Amino acid sequence: MSKLGNIGARLYRGEVGYDFIGKRKIWYGISILITITAIVGLAVRGLNMGIEFSGGAVFTTPETSVSAESARHQAESAAGGHQAMVQKLGGGALRIQISGLDTQQALPVQEELAKDLNVPVKDVNTQLVGPSWGEQIANKAWLGLGIFMVLVVLYLAIAFEWRMALAALIALIHDLTITVGVYALVGFEVTPGTVIGLLTILGYSLYDTVVVFDSLKEASKDITKQTRFTYGEIANRSINSTLVRSINTTVVALLPVAGLLFVGGGVLGAGMLNDISLALFVGLAAGAYSSIFIATPLVADLKNREPQMKALAKRVKAKRAAAAAKDAGQEDTEESAPAAADAEDGAAVVGPRQQPASRNRGRGRPSGKRR
C-alpha cells in the first residue's frame, strides 16, 4: 500500500506519468469497437424485456420438489406456448413469469400449474401486470434520463465550459450503450431494477469525470501566459494526478457490486439483485474507463482547435527548439574549450599538457623568492 501511495504521490507531482492524451486514437478505436459490438448485439439479440414492461402474469408457488426446468416446460404447456421464465426462491418456492397473458387466460393456467406441481390452487399466488403499466414505467424512465442529461450538460457548461459538458455527455452515452449492449448479449431480463441501475451508474460515471475536469480547470488557469506546457500536456498531467484516486474509488465501488452479482445473484439466485448488480458492475467499469480514456482526451481535442491554443503550442515548440539548440551549442563549446586553450599556448598537443619549466622556479625554497 505504501508503494502504491508513493506512486500516487509521484503521479500527482508530475514526476512520472503515462501519455494518455498522446495515445488517444488507440482509446478511441477501442471504444468504437466495443460500442459497435454492443449495438450489433442489441440489434441481433434484442433486450429480454421483463414482464413489468411486456405485460403478463406472475405465479408464485409454495414449496415444491419440481425443478425449475421442469416447471418451465409445464408452465409453457399450460399457457399454450407463451414463453415462461422460472426462478427458484427461498424455501423451495418458484416464481413463474408468463408474458402475454390476460385476466381470462391466467385462471386456467393457475389451475393447470397447481395440478402439474401437485399443490393446492389457492396456494398459487397470481399477479397480473398490464402492458400499459410497463409502458408508463418505460416512458417515465426515458423522461428521467432526458432530464438528467439536460441538467448534467447545463451544470458542466456553467461550472466548467461547454467543451467539457459535450465530452461528458459523449462519455455518458458511451457508458449507457455498452451497458445496454451487455444486457442484450448476456440475455438478462430488463426490469425496473435494471432502470434503477442504469440511472445510478450515470452518477458514478460523472463523479470520476468531474474529478479530472476540476483538476484540469485548476491546472489550465492562465495557460496562455506560460510557454512550458501545451493544453494537451496539462490535460495529461491532470489525468495522471487523479489516476490513483479514480482507480481506488472504482475498485472500492466494484467490490460490493461484484458481491451482489456473483454471490447474491449467482449463488443465492436472487433475480432482482442480478438486474441491478449487472447494470452497476458494467456501468461502473465503463464509467471509470470513459472518464480517463474518452472524456478528457475529447476535451483536449476540442481545446486544441482554438486559435489561442494553437498559438500556445507553437510558442512552446519554438521555446523547446531554442532550448535544445542552446544546449547543443553549450556542449560544442565545452568540447572545443581545451583545444582553444592549447591553440592559445601555440601548440596543439594530444594528451596531458606539459607545464613550462619557468612556472616551477622558486618552488621548494622556504621564501619562494627567486635568486
pLDDT beyond 80 at 133: no
Q: Report d(CA 21, CA 292) in Å as an integer.
A: 10
Domain boundaries, the chain: 10-49+133-313, 56-129
Length of the chain: 371
What interhelical angle do 231-258 and 2-13 show, nearest 10? Answer: 150
Q: What is the pLDDT of residues 290-347, one digit of tens each?
A: 988 999 999 999 999 999 999 998 998 998 888 888 877 776 665 555 544 444 444 3
The correct CATH number of 56-129 out of 3.20.20.480, 3.30.70.1450, 3.40.50.10800, 3.30.70.3400 is 3.30.70.3400
CA 232 to chain centre: 20
10-49+133-313 belongs to CATH 1.20.1640.10: yes
Name the helix (H) or strand (E) containing 295: none
Task: Report which DSSP code applies to 261.
Answer: I
Please tell me the predicted confidence (pLDDT) of residue 29. 94
Q: Report d(CA 335, CA 331) in Å as an integer.
A: 6
Q: What is the pLDDT of residues 157-201, one digit of tens each?
A: 998 989 999 999 999 999 989 988 888 888 777 877 788 888 888
Q: What's the longest Cα–Cα distance across the chain?
A: 137
Predicted TM-score (pTM) of the model is: 0.72
What is the side-by-side strand order in the sheet with 125-129?
84-88, 94-99, 56-61, 125-129
Question: Are 287 and 175 a contacting pair, CB within 8 Å?
Answer: yes
Q: Report d(CA 278, CA 368) in Å as an integer.
A: 93
Q: Report d(CA 39, CA 62) in Å as an integer.
A: 41
Mean pLDDT of 52-81: 78
Mean pLDDT of 119-139: 76
Question: Are 209 and 168 a contacting pair, CB within 8 Å?
Answer: yes
Residue 84, SS3 per DSSP: strand
Q: How confident is the model at residue 110 (pLDDT cuts 50, 70, 90)?
A: confident
Q: Give the other-Cβ count within 10 Å of 365's Cβ.
A: 10
Cβ within 8 Å of residue 45, ≥6 positions away: 184, 185, 187
Q: Report d(CA 311, CA 304) in Å as an integer.
A: 10
Q: What is the pLDDT of residues 213-267, one digit of tens each?
A: 988 998 888 888 888 889 999 999 888 888 888 888 888 888 888 877 777 655 5
Please tell me the predicted confidence (pLDDT) of residue 350. 40
